[in-house]
Structure 1
């Protein structure tokens, strides 16, 4: 059986592959793909896939772009943290999903639907990946429920509501919670900005700040703005003069 895992987080992909091998008692050929670009190249030359497990938000775009560029006839099971609104769209288009963080049981349930999904993908009624891609391009449906971080030998989902900010220090991305805990997500601030939606603002190259963490704003030198936060964080978070109007508009709406 040929299975493809599309997931840009290496540890998540490895964990998924390990659990798939536990549940399927037959020889498996499992390929891991990390990006949209890599996925398009793979499916252009490989048409014999039996089943696909796919994340949605990859580092270089949405995984739907792969299936629009290279239509597949294999069932797709999405491993996602997207909200219920987006998941309803998957059902409408004949696609199954499991929510991150997944368990062995939810994965087993998804595999039980494999034959049913295979029938759908074998007909002319192919899922409308282009429509789903447009749907998920909006900020509200881009927003994830949690961010995965790595701590020792574990993968931990941190609820988005618990995150005060992301910041860059020594070229490493840090996640700071409202309770003062620090974690290290394996994503860039650019990727997190897309993932977190409109409740976070990219203050500058170094900071991505949650609206709930901002108490008020002070004027700073040269018409810049300085954020006053409700968390214990010693470094000043500055909004440039060029971004000030955009920030104040966001602050009023967020």
Structure 2
């Protein structure tokens, strides 16, 4: 089974690829594409894979623009954090979806559905134009602030003021660039989905703002040690597997 991933979040793309190969070891990930432009160029030059996993909102537009620009006859599974109104549209077109953050059970269920429908999938093109118009008009934008807690106060805090999120004893904390510290109710997976490409999930414990990074240094076992440009006592380590993704993200 040849699978194509369209996803602009490096950590999410890596996680999806790893999970797919765990569930379906015989699968082959033919490409991981980060944008509408890259995906259109890929489809124009390469044969279509058996199955496509695609995020909805990419850095340069909605993924439906890809399917309007290129005739796609293969099934698409949308990976989304958006509201139920959009998911109803996907059902009407016979396309499966995965809500972020996904897990192994979700991927297993999706691949099982694909296999069950494989023989009966119609070759006709779904009405992506209708979906594009729907999402263009009604898509809920990612929030620009999060609600944080300080004693008895609930404060809206702009995301761009946050230097780092970290998890400690199952509680999510934030530190701002001006050294204020708060807690919030969301877990790290939820914050990663909300914050977008401005932040990188260094490991399960830390989610770091690009603007907060002073430097990275080589660490034991080809890992990376990250130093922030704010006072921060905890050691942030990027694994060997994620180091290339981190360096690509840091260079942007």
Q: Shared fold (TM-score greater than 0.5)?
A: yes
Shift of 1:87: 0.3
Q: Deviations over 1:152-207 (max 9, x none)?
A: xxxxxxx96666322268xx899889x82598844359xxxxxxxxxxxxxxxxxx
Gaps of 5+ in 2: 149-155, 166-173, 185-190, 200-252
Aligned-pair CA distance for 1:85 = 0.6
In 1, Cα distance between equivalents of 2:38 and 2:10: 14
Report the Cα distance in structure 1 between the residues aligned to 2:117 and 2:133, rounded to whole angstroms: 23
5+ long unaligned stretches in structure 1: 148-158, 190-254
Task: Kindly indicate whether the alpha-carbon contact (under 8 Å) linking 1:77 and 1:98 is maintained by their aligned counterparts in 2.
Answer: yes
Match of 1:91 in 2: 91
Q: Distance in 1 between matches of 2:75 and 2:56?
A: 15
Query: SS of 1:136's equivalent?
Result: helix
Question: Equivalent residue for 1:61?
Answer: 61
Aligned match of 1:26: 26
Change (3 A) 1:176 1:36: farther
- 2:110 is paired with a residue whose SS is helix
Give, in whole Å, the separation in 1 of the partners of 2:128 and 2:119: 17
Matched, 1:187 2:189: no
Instruction: Provide the alpha-carbon RMSD of the alignment.
Output: 3.3
Structure 1 CA distance for aligned equivalents of residues 141 and 121 of structure 2: 28
Say which SS state the counterpart of residue 180 (structure 1) adopts. strand
Q: C-alpha displacement at 1:122, in angstroms?
A: 3.4
Asked if 1 retains the 8 angstrom alpha-carbon contact of 2:3 and 2:27, the reply is no
8 A contact 1:85–1:141 mirrored in 2: no
Q: TM-score, normalised by structure 2?
A: 0.59
Q: Which residue is equivalent to 2:77?
A: 77
Distance (whole Å) between structure 1 residues aligned to residue 69 and residue 139 of structure 2: 22
Per-residue CA deviation, residues 221-240 of structure 1 (Å, 9 max, x unaligned), is: xxxxxxxxxxxxxxxxxxxx
* Match runs of 1:1-254 below 5 Å: 1-119=1-119, 121-124=121-124, 126-138=125-137, 140-144=138-142, 164-167=157-160, 180-181=182-183, 185-187=195-197
Aligned residue pairs: how many?
173
Alignment check: 8 A CA contact 1:166 1:176 kept: no
Check the 8 A contact 2:56/2:64 in 1, yes or no. Answer: yes
CA distance in 2, matches of 1:12, 1:25: 19
Indicate conservation of the 8 Å contact 1:13/1:32, yes or no. Answer: yes
Q: Secondary structure at the match of 1:49?
A: coil
CA contact (8 A) 1:94 1:117 kept: no
Q: Report the Cα offset of residue 127 of structure 1.
A: 1.2
Rounded Cα–Cα distance in structure 2 between residues aligned with 1:106 and 1:142: 23
TM-score (norm 1): 0.59
CA contact (8 A) 1:75 1:117 kept: no
